[in-house]
Structure 1
């Protein structure tokens, strides 16, 4: 064989060997960005809900002034959610806020006039829509994170992920007790 053919074969092999890690790295970067975008979408919807809550609380306050602890719980949960920086911390703060909102809705059931208030109805509809958006955003995030985590664990991506420190992404999980149906007592 001629020397130029040997060099050509060597160059081709080197290029192929370089292509595999470069392609794997770029794929992991792309997948990680998808996870980050999905996480950002959750943050956007959580912020939307957080912005709606003060209006809802103020509307309810006029009817249910004696329910001060629920309003305090909601304010504290909103603060925790605003200060959360990790997916796990956001999920925990979100679960706490959801629980406080559930207690608020039980209070609403005690005040029939409140349910007929136009501001309350509008805010409730917006909040319900936001809760649906949050659920979809969480599902999209989990799908992106699961795909990313699977890719980063497969060969040869696991080597590339290890070398370039691609961390595993945590998934959003249902909050403790989410599978239990909340009890609503209308006899009080």
Structure 2
């Protein structure tokens, strides 16, 4: 591991770092490939340049953005706004690394929990979040305006407990132990 600072890291050609305006062309490619109603470039730009509560990261392989995630941390709670991985690099642990990186940042910011909304039919994302310890705490009817689909509200609590913080620190290290190799192997395909 080259460095670790509140959810950021680098190893084996894979780097998790803060999102920059210069990344937005690549971020928008992934966003459009991932969501039926993508965020606008302007929305991302506002988040990373003007929102003091926002924390947006990219996963970069050999200089190319292959995934991203974002959240707000406010009033002692994180709120994950979005996460997406380039289709070529899905199902190799990168999504989990991005989520755990956000959780590590929440811990550093002394947040006690993290909340998010996920489409009711996005089973892959739900599986990822549950693997990270999120549980369903509610449902927002007709939340997604593009389809009228409901959103499940998922929550991860206990980030203020030492055993939970230690579990995520260990998982973060474990993921860095194998995800870079898996991602590089996908890049060769």
TM-score (norm 1): 0.32
Structure with more relative contact order (C-alpha pairs < 8 Å, separation 6 or more): 1
TM-score (norm 2): 0.31
Larger radius of gyration: 1
Q: Normalized per residue, which structure has more helix?
A: 1
